[in-house]
Structure 1
Amino acid sequence: MLMSNTQRAARLHYMANGFRVLSPGDHVICAVSGEAIPLDRLRYWSVAEQKPFASAEIAVRALGA
């Protein structure tokens, strides 16, 4: 039986130029806002902290840059 990834959070390993899926899903949760981010729209994350961010503004604020 195939399982759908719809409405399931993925677990990712964030790298400098991308990410690796550790557990399948269709989204991740922003570390700051709690917003669900579809994997195909995920653009901002911290490699050092292994956290995703919903926008560039949120990432900059969270990382203190």
Structure 2
Amino acid sequence: MMRAPDMPGLALLRYRAADYQVLRPGRFVICAVSGAEIPLGELAYWSEARQEAYRSALEATRALATS
């Protein structure tokens, strides 16, 4: 079950080229493509330009293909 964006646990991040800045602490972010929760410890793919997180390289590629 997916959580609503305002529920506890959702982190708010500012994505940068090589890392991210935590604006609001939480346990996870939401994948911009699939809507799945991504635990912060597993976050490896994001777009600085779009300020979006992706669950895997597949979702990141899909997001780039739709731009």
Root-mean-square deviation (Å): 1.4
Structure 2: stretches of 5+ with no match in the other structure: 1-7
Is the strand fraction higher in 1 or 2?
1
Query: Which protein shows a greater Rg?
Result: 1
After superposition, what is the alpha-carbon deviation per residue over 1:1-38, rounded to whole angstroms, capped at 9, x for unaligned? Answer: xxxxxx51000000011000000001000011010000
SS in 2 for 1:61: helix
Shift of 1:61: 1.1
TM-score by structure 2 length? 0.83
TM-score by structure 1 length? 0.86
After superposition, what is the alpha-carbon deviation per residue over 1:26-64, rounded to whole angstroms, capped at 9, x for unaligned? Answer: 100001101000001000001000000001011011111
Runs of 4+ in structure 1 over 4 Å off: none
Q: Identity across aligned pairs (percent)?
A: 51
Amino acid at match of 1:14: Y
Structure 1: stretches of 5+ with no match in the other structure: 1-6
